[in-house]
Structure formats: structure tokens, C-alpha cells
């Protein structure tokens, strides 16, 4: 409510002054009553002494005006110069009236003065607060966000100050985030430059060798061409991954939401990674609840060995789904499993489990690699971060891209690892 505290204060002061005035007036009226009663008692006493034959009841009857002799009384008073319309018949009553009037006037003046003082003080406080807010805004314009506003009242200026404080906090967070993004962009550009410099230098050297040696033997030339092609593919992958991350960051990607069958998704991921799996002679064991599917790789071909293949079990694993963009999720899961392949020794296994409940669909991917150091685990999803066990060709972008994709599809990913016990990635897509 507008000026609630001010109105409350004025009302309180008014009540105090009014109550004080009533108390004073009541005391004056009591004095008036005592004085009148004193005069009457004196009159009754004189009448009784000088006229003992008069009955006391008659005197009381006269006092209670049971006998109307007002005209006679007024005439007697006027005979002695006492006009009851102008002065009191009893001495001291006029002073009593003046005291009452003065008391009321003083009470009104005091009330008026107090209200003026309150309004003046409130005006000064408001003016000071407004000046403070103006200075605060000027500091905000200078991009100074290290300011504090501590207001706990509920008037308009305090509410305005609190809103300004919220804006300050938001601007400060945005400024810090912007600075952090600039530093991250600078670091990323430095990392990208470093990552591109090595393959480009290799390509340049090999091309120079081919150009300067026209008589180079065919075997060496083909080896150079193969290496140049490999380096170009690597650069192409890096650029495409960076473009994907950039699109995700700028929210320019439109995710096509639909039901994704986890089993089908995992099979397609494995097909994409058939060659590196075959090179390292690794196995991927997929366990969807009661269905265990072992996939071996021999000459880049997938062989399925279903240990339990009842129709009920088949339907159970097939029914595990979640809502998301199939192509982007294929990219995300591929990057995660690719990371497991790179960090798992030859002839070892990678395990993939998936399940579904009323709250989420969970995919768990576990490798038999060397594990991740404790200080590296918290940075595992940061862009361009390379841990102690990272391979020489690792860029540190695959897991960052996977995390961004999963989070866009209402999911999240966690990583658990122990040295020499492998690494586990746990993905949950919320319903």
C-alpha cells in the first residue's frame, strides 16, 4: 500500500494527541465539577444555618430543579450585575473555560506541528533515497556492479531499490558470464589453432616433398597421399564438430523430437564404430534387461549371439524408448563409445546397459580401460580438455559435444571412474 508506514505513523501520533487531549479535558471537567459542587455545598450549608426551619428535602428538591424558580434566580443575578449569557455566576468558571479552550488549541497545534515534522522528515528521507538510487543507476551505467542495496521496508522506493539490486545481480552475472565466454573463446581459438597447426604443417611438408621429388618412388608417394588424406579427414571432423557445437551454443539447431528405440540406436552406433572395434579386437556387450546380446567384430561384420531370445524378452528390450532427436543422439552416443574404445586396451570389453521406468530412460556405458584421474574427472566434459591419459590425437571435443546434445534432449550425463577399474558413463533422459 502506498506510504503505508507514513500513514500509520501519522495515525498513531493523531491518536496519541487526541487521547492526551481527552484525558486533559476530563481532568479539567472534573475540576469544574468539584468547583461547582463546592459552591453548591456552601450555599446549602449557609441556607441550613440561617434558615433552620427549611426542610432539607426541600433544599435538595430545589437543587434537583424539581421546583422551577429559574426566572426569579436570573432576576436576582441580574440585579447584582451577573449576566449568565456573558459571564459565569461562580467565580473561577471563566478561567476554567479558557483553560479548556487553550488546551484544545495547544493539542491541535502540537498535532499539526508533529505531522509537519513527520512529513518533512519523510520528504528528506525520500529525497535522500532518490538521490542514492540515481547515483546507483549512474554507477550501473559505468558498469560498476559491485554495489549493495540493503532495504527491508515495503515502500515504493525500497521496492524499487530491491528491483534495481536484482537487475544489478543479473547484469553482474551476465558480465561475468560474458567475460568467461570471451576467455573460453580465446582459449578455444588458441586450442583450435594449435590443433590445426600440426596437421597443416604435416600436409605442407608432405606436399613439398612430392612436388620437389618428381621421381619419388610410388610406394612412398602413396604413403604420403594416404597420410595427407588422413590428416584432411581429421581436420574435416574437427571443423564439423566445432560447427555443431557452435550451432548448439547459439540455439540455431531445431531438434526433431520423436520416440527413439534404444536398441536400434545402439546397433547403429556400433555399426559406425565397427572398424576401430575390429582394429583393437574389442567386444561390446549389450544387456537390455533380460536380453543379453554379444556383438563380436570380425572383418568389420556384426555377429549377434542371443543368449535368451524368447518373444517376451525381445519385446521387453525393444520397448525401451525415449523422446529425442535420433540423428543428434546417434552423434552423442557414438562420441561416448568412441571415447571408451580409445581408452580401452585391445581385447577388452565395453558394456552397454539400458532400462526404462516411469521417470526416465537410462543408458549405462562402461569400459575396461585404465580409468580417469580424480583431478581430471570433473573436467571430463569441458571443451578441449585433455587429461593425463588422453591419447595423442585426442582433441577433447567429443564428450563436450555429447553432453550438449544430451542436455538439449532433456537429459543429463554423469561420469564415474576409478584407476585401473575403467570408466562408466550414465545417461538419463527424463520423461
pLDDT digits (tens, 9 = 90+) for 266-297: 999 998 888 888 889 998 999 744 333 434 43
Q: Are the C-beta atoms of 367 and 423 separated by less than 8 Å? A: yes
Q: What is the pLDDT of residue 23?
A: 82
pTM of the predicted model over 0.75 = no
Cα–Cα dist 404/244, whole Å: 10
Q: What is the pLDDT of residue 155?
A: 57
Q: What is the pLDDT of residue 147?
A: 60
Q: What does the pLDDT average to over 5-30?
A: 78
Q: What is the pLDDT of residue 130?
A: 79
User: Given a cut of 60, is residue 400 above it in pLDDT?
Assistant: yes
Q: What is the pLDDT of residue 306?
A: 39
pLDDT band at 221 (very low <50, low <70, confident <90, very high): confident
List the single range of 207-221, 226-240, 285-299 with lowest mean pLDDT. 285-299
Average pLDDT, the chain: 76
Dihedral, CA of residue 372, residue 374, residue 379 and residue 385, to nearest 10: -50
Q: What is the pLDDT of residue 15?
A: 82
Q: Which of 180, 194, 185 is nearest to 394 (CA)?
A: 194
Q: What is the pLDDT of residue 172?
A: 72
User: Given a cut of 70, is residue 157 above it in pLDDT?
Assistant: no
User: Given a cut of 50, is residue 308 above it in pLDDT?
Assistant: no
Q: What is the pLDDT of residue 82?
A: 63
Compare 197 and 431 and report the one with higher pLDDT. Answer: 431
Compare 15 and 188 and report the one with higher pLDDT. Answer: 15
360 φ/ψ angles, rounded to the nearest 5 degrees: -160, 165
Q: What is the pLDDT of residue 302?
A: 38
Q: Are the C-beta atoms of 291 and 356 separated by less than 8 Å? A: no
Q: What is the pLDDT of residue 294?
A: 39
Sign of CA dihedral 267, 268, 269, 273: positive
Give the best-scoring range by mean pLDDT among 46-55, 191-200, 215-224. 215-224
Q: What does the pLDDT average to over 182-201?
A: 71
Question: What are 384-393's pLDDT values in tens digits?
Answer: 776 666 655 5
Cα–Cα dist 425/250, whole Å: 26
Q: What does the pLDDT average to over 134-138?
A: 76
Which domains, ranges and CATH numbers included, belong to the chain? 4-141 (no CATH), 166-248 (1.10.287.130), 258-430 (3.30.565.10)
Strand 360-367, strand 321-324: pairing: unpaired
User: Given a cut of 70, is residue 42 above it in pLDDT?
Assistant: yes
pLDDT band at 197 (very low <50, low <70, confident <90, very high): confident
391 φ/ψ angles, rounded to the nearest 5 degrees: -75, 165
427: enclosing H helix or E strand: strand 422-430
Amino acid at each position: 500500500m502506498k506510504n503505508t508506514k507514513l500513514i500509520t505513523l501519522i495515525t498513531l501520533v493523531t491518536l496519541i494527541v487526541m487521547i492526551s487531549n481527552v484525558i486533559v479535558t476530563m481532568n479539567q471537567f472534573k475540576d469544574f465539577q468539584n468547583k461547582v459542587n463546592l459552591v453548591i455545598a456552601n450555599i446549602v450549608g449557609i441556607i441550613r444555618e440561617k434558615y433552620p426551619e427549611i426542610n432539607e428535602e426541600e433544599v435538595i428538591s430545589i437543587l434537583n430543579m424539581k421546583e422551577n424558580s429559574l426566572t426569579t434566580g436570573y432576576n436576582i443575578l441580574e440585579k447584582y450585575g451577573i449576566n449568565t449569557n456573558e459571564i459565569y455566576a461562580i467565580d473561577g468558571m471563566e478561567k476554567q473555560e479558557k483553560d479548556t479552550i487553550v488546551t484544545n488549541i495547544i493539542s491541535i497545534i502540537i498535532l499539526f506541528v508533529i505531522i509537519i515534522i513527520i512529513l518533512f522528515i519523510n520528504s528528506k528521507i525520500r529525497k535522500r533515497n532518490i538521490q542514492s538510487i540515481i547515483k546507483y543507476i549512474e554507477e550501473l551505467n559505468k558498469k560498476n556492479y559491485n554495489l549493495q542495496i540493503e532495504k527491508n521496508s515495503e515502500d515504493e522506493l525500497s521496492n524499487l531499490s530491491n528491483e534495481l539490486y536484482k537487475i544489478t545481480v543479473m547484469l553482474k552475472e551476465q558480465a561475468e558470464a560474458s567475460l568467461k565466454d570471451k576467455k573460453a573463446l580465446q582459449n578455444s581459438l588458441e586450442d583450435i589453432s594449435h590443433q590445426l597447426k600440426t596437421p597443416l604443417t604435416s600436409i605442407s611438408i608432405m606436399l613439398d616433398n612430392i612436388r620437389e621429388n618428381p621421381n619419388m618412388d610410388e610406394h612412398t608417394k602413396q604413403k604420403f597421399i594416404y597420410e595427407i588424406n588422413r590428416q584432411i579427414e581429421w581436420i574435416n571432423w574437427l571443423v564439423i564438430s566445432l560447427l555443431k557445437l557452435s550451432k548448439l551454443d547459439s540455439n540455431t539447431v531445431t531438434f526433431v523430437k520423436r520416440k527413439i528405440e534404444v536398441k536400434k540406436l545402439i546397433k547403429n552406433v556400433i555399426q559406425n564404430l565397427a572398424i576401430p572395434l575390429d582394429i583393437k579386437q574389442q567386444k561390446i556387450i549389450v544387456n537390455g534387461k533380460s536380453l543379453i546380446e554379444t556383438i563380436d567384430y570380425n572383418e568389420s561384420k556384426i555377429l549377434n549371439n542371443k543368449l535368451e531370445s524368447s518373444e517376451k524378452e525381445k519385446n521387453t528390450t525393444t520397448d525401451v524408448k525415449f523422446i529425442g532427436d535420433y540423428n543428434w543422439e546417434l552423434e552423442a552416443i557414438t562420441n561416448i563409445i568412441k571415447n571408451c574404445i580409445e581408452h580401452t586396451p585391445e581385447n577388452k570389453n565395453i558394456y552397454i546397459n539400458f532400462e526404462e521406468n516411469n521417470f526416465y530412460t537410462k543408458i549405462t556405458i562402461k569400459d575396461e580401460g585404465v580409468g580417469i584421474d580424480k583431478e581430471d574427472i570433473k573436467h571430463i566434459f569441458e571443451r578441449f580438455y585433455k587429461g593425463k591419459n588422453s591419447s595423442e590425437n585426442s582433441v577433447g571435443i567429443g564428450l563436450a559435444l555429447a553432453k550438449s546434445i544430451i542436455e538439449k534432449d532433456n537429459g543429463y550425463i554423469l561420469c564415474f571412474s576409478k584407476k585401473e577399474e575403467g570408466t562408466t558413463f550414465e545417461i538419463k533422459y527424463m520423461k
